[in-house]
Amino acid sequence: MTERFADRREAGRALGEALRRLDLPTDAVLLGLARGGVIVAGEAARALGLPLDVLVVRKLGVPGQPELAFGAIARGVRVLNPEIVEELQLSPASMDAVARNEQAELERREAAYRAGRPPLALRGRTAVLVDDGLATGASMRAAIEAVQALGAARVIVAVPVAPPGACEELAARYPGIECLALRTPDPFYAVGLWYRTFPHVTDEQVTAALGAAAPG
């Protein structure tokens, strides 16, 4: 059986060691997907001596079934899970209503986490997108499209754990990206099962991780 990580911090340190072998440029930026991904990315950034920023991504939950995502949004980007949209015959109006609510929360979190600091510039730089794991991939797809729109020259997805084939699916959808998953257990079930401790991450913890990071 695949060994579990103790917690997000241990996973982040392991991810940092794996990223070190990719010979990242000195202007690379680690972007943690809020909330949990920021804790992982903070440890990896510290190990690598690289700057850290936050990328807020919000899942779009099916009306009445919010745990089931029909897509996700990031800054200026919306991606959909077409299979879910088609299977449940979701109307554009219902999806727009969910997206508006999530956009408001996205903007609130961006403002709270950065405390007035502008986002780090990504144009021409290597952007390393870090989360505590991949599940459906909708959030990471939104993140990839967001940093591509912001002009990142190289995009690397880096996660401690993912389902088998998840990295290959992302690379096929977005030619040119790189994807690193430390562990790909089968069966996968859920991200949280692969951590011995997987607590809820607060806004305050995200803000503290960002504040402790190296400047970009």
- pLDDT value of residue 5: 97
60-100, pLDDT tens digit by residue? Answer: 999 999 888 899 999 889 999 999 999 999 999 999 999 99
pLDDT band, very low/low/confident/very high, at 215 (cuts 50, 70, 90): low
Angle CA 40–72–104, to nearest 5 = 95
Are 90 and 98 spatial neighbours (Cβ–Cβ below 8 Å)? no
34-51, pLDDT tens digit by residue? Answer: 999 999 999 999 999 999
Global pTM value: 0.92
- Could you tell me where the DSSP H helices lie in the chain? 8-20, 36-48, 82-88, 92-114, 138-149, 166-173, 203-211
Distance of CA 136 to the CA centre of its chain: 12
1 pLDDT above the threshold of 80: no
Ranges of CATH 3.40.50.2020 domains, the chain: 8-57+122-211
CA 184 – CA 20 distance, rounded (Å): 20
CA 38 – CA 11 distance, rounded (Å): 12
- CATH annotation of 8-57+122-211: 3.40.50.2020
**Nearest residue to 98 via CA among 85, 112, 114:** 85
Give me the chain's average pLDDT, please: 93
Q: What percent of the chain has pLDDT over 70?
A: 98
151 pLDDT above the threshold of 70: yes
- pLDDT value of residue 86: 94
| Angle, in degrees to the nearest 10, between helices 8-20 and 36-48 | 40
97-142, pLDDT tens digit by residue? Answer: 999 999 999 999 988 998 778 889 999 999 999 999 998 888 999 9
Task: State the sign of the Cα–Cα–Cα–Cα dihedral 103, 38, 160, 179.
Answer: positive
Helix (H, G, I), strand (E, B) or coil at 113: helix
Are 110 and 203 spatial neighbours (Cβ–Cβ below 8 Å)? no
- The predicted model gives 192-201 an average pLDDT of 96
